[in-house]
Each structure stands twice: as structure tokens, then as C-alpha cells.
Structure 1
């Protein structure tokens, strides 16, 4: 059994390396990203429920809360490292070994095998987009990331209408 305090502390102390590479001195931690993703995923699920789409908010919150749990073991490497190794396989291996009771929830997210996983995957990208807009407003160069994430999020046909709500709220004045 894992030491859940150590896992939580590690995630809260681990910065998201991509922000550091962009010069953001006060880069968000993995923990802050997971919390933002979880809050967004819950809001999105509630929004869909209000539209008549049945979504189990508890499952959405559970998947979002654990989606980056493997980073407590693997750390948070930059994109160039993730592109050179089989990152998805490394994450899945950590879940099988360290968090087997949560591995199925992770797979829902990683492979978007159901609506819950799609919502969390969307919320994960949306959380990064929102943070990129925030950092852009603070003067950091995030233009390429903003454009790339917006393009990816717009491809979620069943969720793209929600994107406009968050872009209007958090990315005003930022060129998409």
C-alpha cells in the first residue's frame, strides 16, 4: 500500500516542467493542475447533465483526481522526454504496479474509452489552456501552446461548445 501522504506531497511539490522551460518562475505544481482539472471536469459534467446528457459526476471527479497520479513516481518530464519514451506505457505500468485499484480509471482517461474519460481528457487540456492564457497575460511566451491546445480542444465535437464558455472567461484578450 502506498503512503498517500508521500504521494500527495510529491505531487504538490512537483512543478510542471513545461512552464519552467518557458521561464515561468512560479510554475503550477502537478497537484494544482490536478485540482484545476478536477474542478473543470466536475463543472463540465454538471453542464452536460443540465443539457440532458447523463454523466456520473462522481466518476468524472474520481478519474480527474487520479489522472496524473503516476507522476508521483515518474515526475513530470518535459515534452521532449515524453516524446522520446513510451510515456503512456510508463504511466500505465506505474498504475498497474503502484495503484492497481485505480488503473481502470486511468485507462478511461488515457484512452478516452467512455464519456467520463473524454470529459477528463478534455478538462486536462482545458486546464492547461487556461493556465497558458493566464501565463500569457503575465508576459510569458505561450502563444504556440495556446493555439495547439485550442485546436485540439475544438476537435471534441461533443464538448467543443463548452470550450467557448471557458475561453471567454479565462482567455479574453489572448489570440487563439
Structure 2
């Protein structure tokens, strides 16, 4: 049986390495990131439903909640490590071994197999963009990341209309 308290404690103590590499002194934890992703994904799903697009908010929240769960086992390596490994396969293997009952939720996110997965993947990148804007306002050098994430998010044709709302709200003129 998995020790859920240890998993949560680990995720809440694990900083997102990319922020540390950029010199952010009090870097966001994986836990804080996951919470922001879940809240954004829930808002986005609710907005899509209001627009007449049928998306299951409960499923979106479930997928968002577990999307970084493998990092409780693997830690949060920097981009260089992720690029050198087949990171998607490594994470999927951890899910199959440690969290088999949640593996399909992870697959929805990782491979964007349906609208739920696309919403969570979009929210994941959006959460990082919002955090990059916040750190940029604090004086950290995240301008390149802000631009790159904005370009990636713009390619979500079915969700890009929501991007401007969040950019305006959290980033202002930084993009």
C-alpha cells in the first residue's frame, strides 16, 4: 500500500529544478505547481462547458491532480536530463509500477488522448507560463521561457482563445 502522506510531503518539498537553475531563491514546489494546474484546468473545463463544449470537470481535476505524481519517485530533474532520457517512458513505467490504478489518467495527460488530456496539458504549460511571468516581475530572467511557452500554448487551436484571458490577468505586457 502506498503511503499517501509521504508522497504528498515529497512533492511539496521537491522544488521545480528549472526555477533553481534560473536562480529563483524560493522556487515553486512540484506540489504548488500541481495545485495551480488543477485549479487552472478546472476553470478552463468550466469555461469550455459554458461555451457548449462538453468536458468532464471531475475527470479533468483527477488527471490534473496526478499528472506529476511520478515525481514523488523520480524527483524533478531539469530539462537537460528529461531531454536525454525518454522521460515520457520513464514516467509511464513509474505509473504502471507504483500507481497502476492511476496510469490511464496519466496517459490521458501525457499523450493528450482526449479533450480532458488536452485541457490538463494546456493548463500544465499555462501554469508554468504564469509562474514565469511572476518570477520575471520579481526580476528573474525568464523572458525566453515566457515567449516559448506562449508560442506553445498558441498552438492549441481549440484552447488558444482562453490564453489571452490568462495572459492578460497574470502576465500583462510581459508576453
- TM-based fold match above 0.5: yes
1:173 Cα deviation (Å)? 2.7
Q: 1: CA distance between counterparts of 2:67 and 2:76?
A: 13
Q: 2: CA distance between counterparts of 1:173 and 1:139?
A: 15
1:77 aligns with 2:65: no
3-state SS of paired residue (1:139): coil
Q: 2: CA distance between counterparts of 1:154 and 1:109?
A: 18
Structure 1 unaligned regions, length at least 5: none
Aligned-residue Cα RMSD (Å) equals 0.4
1:50 aligns with 2:50: yes
Q: Kindly report which structure 2 residues correspond to 1:133-144, keeping only aligned pairs within 5 A, or say none.
A: 133-144=133-144
Q: 2: CA distance between counterparts of 1:173 and 1:27?
A: 23
Normalised to the residue count of structure 1, the TM-score between the two structures is 0.99
Q: Which digits, 9 at most, give the CA deviation of each residue in 1:90-142, with x for residues without a partner?
A: 10000000000000000000000000000000000000000000000000000
Q: 2: CA distance between counterparts of 1:7 and 1:91?
A: 15
Aligned to 1:92: 92
Q: 1: CA distance between counterparts of 2:173 and 2:125?
A: 20
1:46 Cα deviation (Å)? 0.2
Aligned to 1:29: 29
User: After TM superposition, what 4+ stretches of structure 1 lie above 2 angstroms from structure 2?
Assistant: none
Q: Which digits, 9 at most, give the CA deviation of each residue in 1:16-68, with x for residues without a partner?
A: 00000000011000000000000000000000000000110000000000000
Aligned length: 175
Q: Kindly report which structure 2 residues correspond to 1:107-118, keeping only aligned pairs within 5 A, or say none.
A: 107-118=107-118
Q: 1: CA distance between counterparts of 2:19 and 2:62?
A: 26
Q: 2: CA distance between counterparts of 1:133 and 1:94?
A: 31
Q: 2: CA distance between counterparts of 1:144 and 1:173?
A: 14
Aligned to 2:132: 132
Normalised to the residue count of structure 2, the TM-score between the two structures is 0.99
Aligned to 2:12: 12
Structure 2 unaligned regions, length at least 5: none
Aligned to 1:148: 148
